[in-house]
Each structure stands twice: as C-alpha cells, then as structure tokens.
Structure 1
C-alpha cells in the first residue's frame, strides 16, 4: 500500500512538472501605419498568412492599419505594444524612436548613401545591437522590413539646393530629429500623422512632404499638388516585425520559430517590393512617376554634398544623443559594405 501511495505521489509530481499547454487568443492584433497595397501592408498581411498556414490556425493574426489601435497616433505604437495593448506590429524605426532613442540612427541626415548601406546596418552589428535594446524594453524583434529611402516633394518648385527649401512648409513625422533637419535647411517643418498629411497637402496647409517613392505613388500624393520630387536619399525607413514579450512567451518554442521564420520571409518580401524599380539598372519606378506628370530631380554629387554640409551640425548633435559608439559602429559598417 505504501509503495502504491509513493508511486501515486510521484506520478502526480511528474504531471505537475510538465509544461502547461499554451493558451492562445482567438486573435492577435498586428498594428501597421498603412495597409496593402503599400509594401508595408503587404508584408504584414503575408506574415499573418504564413503563420496561420503553418500553425493550422492556432495563431490567428489580423492586421489593423492606419495606426488604428492607437487612435492614429503612430508614435504611440511601441508603447502600446510594450504594455500589451497591441500584440504585434510591423513598425517604423521612425515612429518608435521617441521611445527607443537608438532608432534615430536611421534618421541621421545622409548617413546611408545607398541600399547596401541600409543592409550593412540592419544585417550587421548595428542591427543586432538595436534588437537587443528593443528586447530589453519588453518587445521581441524578429525581422527587418523596409519602407525605403524618404524623398522630398513639394507643390512650388524643384528642389536642387538647400536654398530651394527655404520657407517651404514641409509635413514631417513626429520626431524632433526630422524637425531639426528641416529647420537647418531653412524649411518650416510641420509635424503631423500620416492620416492628417494628405488633407493638409490637399488644402495647401503644407507645401510638401517626405516619404518613400512607394508611398508617393500608392497614396497618389501627386494628385494633391506634389508636382516636384527630389531624390536625395536623406534618410531611410527600415521596418521591424515585433511581438509583445508576454505574447511571445505564451507561444510554444515550436510556434515561436514558426512566427519568427514567417516574419523573416515577410520582411524579405517587403524589402523586395519596396526596392522594385529603384535598384541596379531598373529605374522603372522613377520613370513611372515622371509619366504621372511629376518633375523628378536626381541630384548631382555636388548638389548632394550641399545638403550634407547644411545638415552636418544636426548630425553631430544627434550622434551624441543616439550614442557615439553606436553611430561610429554604423559609419564603420557602411565604410566596409
């Protein structure tokens, strides 16, 4: 009898030691700023689709575009995800930079001259360090995507020199660094969400805006007076696929790997779409914009350098704020690309 009792106790203890079955929600909310057919939205939808397929529906993810989970205020997205209000996001480094200062590195004016420079940062030691910092802040980063280089457009005249920006009212995202950059160039930056930007361009409340070419075309920004576009590659906008820490910990290891791999694949797709017609010998995206009646300015090296020189003070000030060691690492990675 005693032996039987001991065996029963041992059995109960063994069962208690087994890991609890994962308890999954009926739906996991993914926050994005824009939907499909923007590359950003397409990638988020692909992430959800791949995860649903590979988990046989155990993990059901739904995209909520327009930063609707934070009432349209995209700069609050990271905080909401950290607190568990948002389960997941495909978020912009710009929008998360108010909470993660190091993310401002991608908005340092004229740090990254080309797409290889973006890759050198996101796929190198800088990207690894940034992911570590994000995870320390209660969010699990999984993969990089891309919104693209941000180019400047306006309704008044072509922009070829810093003088051409003087006095122009330019819509910028809610980041102090963007405000400082355009102020240094003599413009009047106006911070507003993307939801408010197009109406402001329509009414003439602002003269111009800065966004990747994919946003310019898909959102039909050219229809609201933006007839002059300058390709200056002044900053880039990498995206990050991420999950709230508690949500991540609720997944089994096998499902964590599925979610991570799906994010990596969706991120690669995002980058491919964002760069289509803009790399190598294929410049079809630029020709497509010109066909819409937009005057496209491609700066000469000398013209480009004028903008670099005009914003160097901003660069140095923000290098100290971001962390000189991280920026030095970025500069070295780009030099070695």
Structure 2
C-alpha cells in the first residue's frame, strides 16, 4: 500500500513539474490550411504563424501548413466547413472563400466599397472587424487576427480594359462566390467559377481569357507567362484574410498557450499585411514597374472611368447589401467616411 501511495504521489509531482504534462491531450501536430503557399504573401504569413506558435509556446504546439487547401482537395469554399468540423485545426482563410457559409463576409466583396488601403484598415481594425469576429466566434472557431490578400485587379489576354464595354464577352475566372458572378455578369463579362489550382492551366490554354487577383498573386504566379498581358488597376474589391483556430482545439490548450498562439497570429498577420502591400502601397510602385518590364500593358483608371464601373455594378451592391445586412453595410460606410 505504501509503495502504491508513493507511486501516486510521484505521478502527481511529475504532472506539476514536467513541461507539457498537464497538456497530455495536445496533438503531436496541428494542421494549418491556406489556399496559397510560399512565395505568396498569404503562404508566407501562414508559415510564419506556424513558426511563431512553436516559438511562443515553447514547442508544446507544433503546426504544419497545408497549402492549396489540400485538406479539402483544393475546394476553397469547403475550407470553413472543414474547419468547423475539426478536419482542419487552424487556417489563414479568405473572407471571399468563407462567404458562402458566413454571408456577412461578403461585405468586403461589395464592388467599389473600399477606395484605398486606409478603408480596409478602417473596417478590419474598427467596429466592423470586431462585429465580424464576434459573429465568427459563434460558429465553432476562434478568430485571432486580420491579414490581407489585397485589392483584386483585373487581367486578361485579349485587350486593355478601360470601360465596362471592354469587358463584354470576356471569359473571366472568378472564385466560387455568387456575388462575383453577379458583379461580372453586370459588366457583360462571362464569369467562370473555378479553383485557383484549375485557373492557371485554364489561363495557359486560353480556356479562360482573364482573372482577378491581388498584384502579389499576379507576380508570384507569373501570370504574364500565362498570356495575361493586359492589367487594369481598378481596386474593385479587397480580400482580407483571417487567422483562426477551431474552437475545440483552442479550448484544449492551456490559457498560457492560447495567449501564445494569439500573439503569434497578431505578429504574423502584421508582417503578412506589410509584405502584401510591399511595392504596391505607400508611394512604392516597384511591383508595377516589374510587371510593366515583362511587357504587360497597365491601365490605371481615371476617377471618371472608375465611376462608370461603379455605376454599372451599383444594382449588385444594393442587392447584396440587403443579404449582408443593411446595418453592417452602413457601419462599414460610416467607418470608411471617417478614416484617416
């Protein structure tokens, strides 16, 4: 009996002094999903988060990144559902890709809502961002930080696009969102829905004429080599990213490790946003110069030209504002109006 009591006491002591002993339920490795891997800023941000998590939790939490939404066979629109179900432990996800399950995230895809980077920040770092995080927290996930994929610009293989008429008949690859289908249909284009993995060969063969993506993607994916020789800077929508953890996974971690993961997400997100804007924002146009050096014709819309696109897509904006929620849209518009 004495030896048994001694054994129990020893085990209790071990649980107190051995690092990680109290977290016996921790997984050996956690799965982090992203759409894009390195060298895209999105993938670099995910990789950095994994690195910082290990550092800030003293190695108790090890994360492996799975780019290409490979955990859901490349179907970007299924990522959020898989995250809720626990198939995915963590993600750096796109507001666009998750909008089919969380309609309020369509806010960022309302055409021409956000005129500049300060407007994105006014939304993600203000009352809109908090409201959306509160909403996501009711859906089996814990949102931690806002990242950024960037403003989505238009490219194609056929002709420069300066007016809505120039888009007529163009086959444009879009993400799996009904709002994007509505927007490009309103402009007279022929939107074609497909994953990014399928989009690149489709551009190469001419199965689709064009696509819309941030400039960081345009460069890293080497789209000029896929016949994308016409680029229009119209900044019609932007694509914030969200660093999240599955709620059950989050609750399995100690408070100390939760704070470590949160701090890692905030730091990785900040670094990722800076990288996504490098050479594009703040008076630095080095990325554009590199693109032009590859023989791409870059069209910068005048305010009047942009207004024509805005007018053509206003019925889409009004229709989707009702779906997203008029109060949320109003809060967003007010936040943008007050931006610094």
Compute the TM-score of the two structures, normalised by the length of structure 1. 0.94
Counterpart CA distance in 2 for 1:21 and 1:56 is 14
Deviations 1:264-293 (A, max 9, x none): 000001100100111122111111110111
**In structure 2, what is the equivalent of residue 274 of structure 1?**
276
* Corresponding position: 1:48 with 2:50: yes
Unaligned runs of 5+ in 1: 1-10
Measured on the aligned residues, the alpha-carbon RMSD in Å equals 1.4
Counterpart CA distance in 1 for 2:65 and 2:121 is 26
Counterpart CA distance in 2 for 1:268 and 1:280 is 16
**In structure 1, what is the equivalent of residue 266 of structure 2?**
264
SS of 2:115's equivalent in the other structure is coil
**In structure 1, what is the equivalent of residue 244 of structure 2?**
242
Counterpart CA distance in 2 for 1:264 and 1:299 is 34
Counterpart CA distance in 1 for 2:282 and 2:305 is 22
**In structure 2, what is the equivalent of residue 30 of structure 1?**
32
**In structure 1, what is the equivalent of residue 302 of structure 2?**
300
Counterpart CA distance in 2 for 1:262 and 1:155 is 41
**In structure 2, what is the equivalent of residue 21 of structure 1?**
22
**In structure 2, what is the equivalent of residue 318 of structure 1?**
320
Deviations 1:103-141 (A, max 9, x none): 000000000000000000000000000001111011110
Counterpart CA distance in 1 for 2:26 and 2:252 is 7
Deviations 1:165-192 (A, max 9, x none): 0000000000000000000000000000
**In structure 2, what is the equivalent of residue 90 of structure 1?**
92
| Structure 1 segment 137-156 matched on structure 2, within 5 A | 137-156=139-158
Deviations 1:4-24 (A, max 9, x none): xxxxxxx9xxx9xx9x92221
Unaligned runs of 5+ in 2: 1-8
Counterpart CA distance in 1 for 2:282 and 2:242 is 25
* Corresponding position: 1:222 with 2:224: yes
**In structure 2, what is the equivalent of residue 231 of structure 1?**
233
Give aligned pairs, total. Answer: 322
Deviations 1:296-337 (A, max 9, x none): 000000000000000000000000000000000000000000
**In structure 1, what is the equivalent of residue 175 of structure 2?**
173
Counterpart CA distance in 2 for 1:56 and 1:105 is 38
* Corresponding position: 1:134 with 2:136: yes
SS of 1:62's equivalent in the other structure is strand
Counterpart CA distance in 1 for 2:324 and 2:286 is 36
**In structure 1, what is the equivalent of residue 332 of structure 2?**
330
Deviations 1:22-59 (A, max 9, x none): 22100000000010110000010100101111222110
Compute the TM-score of the two structures, normalised by the length of structure 2. 0.93
